[in-house]
Amino acid sequence: MPQSALSGWAERAWIGLIRVTPLRAYTSLIRVVSGIPLPPGLRTPVFGTIARRMGIDLVEAEGAVEEYRCFGELFVRPLRPGLRPVDPAVDAVVSPVDGSVSGIGTVRRGGLIQAKGIEYSLGELVADEGLAGALDGGCYLTLYLRPRDYHRIHSPIDARVVALRQVAGRLFPVKPYMVRSLQGLYVRNERLVFELEADMGRAALVCVAAAGVGNISTEVADLNGTGARDRANGVRAVRLERRVARGEEVARFNLGSTVIMVFPPGKVDLTTLAPGAMLRVGQRVGRILQPGR
């Protein structure tokens, strides 16, 4: 049997197994294990070995390895100041994460492209039909974070966060083989939706959870506090007025996942980016057309 056919068969079998795996229990286990504190004397050899195998660059970490009590803390490590300069141009749209390009395009009739031959609904993604209507016809950029990447999420533009929505869902892996095989992956998974208001109009920054990433933390708003509301459709939402600067941290993942940015039609010109291109926080990915209007 040709290797390509074997790979295809093995991939389909693996995806079938993932569908019936208790991914939430697996995610809970990962969270517990990654939160186990290690004695100071073990941190450097243990975390150093794990980092080498995962390809994590510990030189970039703000703190020394022994300062992180558990692997979970190391995973969401802040970086040393100055390592991710933010493009200063007034018209710049910047990458919110360190990650690779897995999708770029224009929203067509309320649909985005997940992979070749697979489309999904913008309304389902952002969990708000009004916001989806405002963004229909606009451009979008999808970025995939590998486990080795820096896992804090930053604002791509100067804006106000006017709403935050936590959408319940599954925790399927978001690795490339799942993206090209599982219909509607991004709208099946849990996600955190930042609704942004800027001079250009409304935009969305969507953080998609995955296996091992059952919680996406943010200090922008307390979704368990006053003002948050639960809906029958599994959306917990809160309205707010929180200004964020381009490049400012807004959330963090606990393992690799995906971020999707969507902008209003005719307002942003995204840089031509090839699939798989690697980006860093603060790097220009596009420009605002007629900034300040």
DSSP assignment string, 141-197: EEEE--TTS--EEE-SSSEEEEEEEEE--B----SHHHHTTSTTHHHHB-EEEEEEE
User: Which of the residues 95, 98, 100, 102 is marked catalytic?
Assistant: 98
**Residue 114 identity:** Q
Q: Is 150 found in the same domain as 46? A: no
Provide the whole-model pTM.
0.90
48 and 174 inside one domain: no
32 has pLDDT over 90: no
Asked whether residue 117 falls in the same domain as residue 24, the answer is no
Q: Within a domain: residue 83?
A: no
- 275 and 185 assigned to the same domain: yes
Higher pLDDT, 275 or 242: 242
Q: Is residue 160 part of a domain?
A: yes
pLDDT-derived band at 20, boundaries 50, 70, 90: low
Q: Determine the length of the chain.
A: 293
Would you state the pLDDT for residue 171? Answer: 86
- Is 181 a member of any domain? yes
In this structure, the answer to whether residues 107 and 55 fall within a common structural domain is no
Number of domains in the chain: 2
Which of 75, 110, 127 is the last residue before a domain boundary? 75
In tens, the pLDDT along 239-248 reads: 999 999 999 9
pLDDT value at residue 37: 94
Q: Which of 28-32, 75-79, 270-274 has the lowest mean pLDDT?
A: 28-32
Question: Over pLDDT 70: what percentage of the chain?
Answer: 88
**Residue 275 or 198, more confident:** 198
pLDDT at 6 over 50: no
Q: How far apart are CA 263 and CA 200, in angstroms?
A: 9
Amino acid in position 277: A
Task: Based on the fold, state whether residues 69 and 35 are members of the same structural domain.
Answer: yes
Cα angle 206, 210, 212 (rounded to 5 degrees) comes to: 135
3-state secondary structure of 281: coil
pLDDT at residue 164 above 70?
yes
The answer, yes or no, to whether residue 222 has pLDDT greater than 50, is: yes
Catalytic residue among 100, 151, 154, 155: 154
Q: Would residue 98 show up in a list of annotated catalytic residues for this protein?
A: yes
Same domain, 69 and 99: no
257 catalytic? Reply is yes
Say whether both 161 and 46 belong to one domain. no
| Rounded-to-integer distance, Cα 209 and Cα 190, Å | 5
What pLDDT, in 10s, does the model give residues 77-127? 999 999 999 999 999 999 999 999 999 999 999 999 998 789 999 999 999
Q: Are residues 99 and 223 in the same domain?
A: yes
Domain that holds residue 55: 3-75
CA distances from 83 to 54, 98, 133, 141, 280 (A): 20, 12, 37, 23, 10
Q: What is the pLDDT of residue 12?
A: 65
Mean pLDDT of the chain: 88
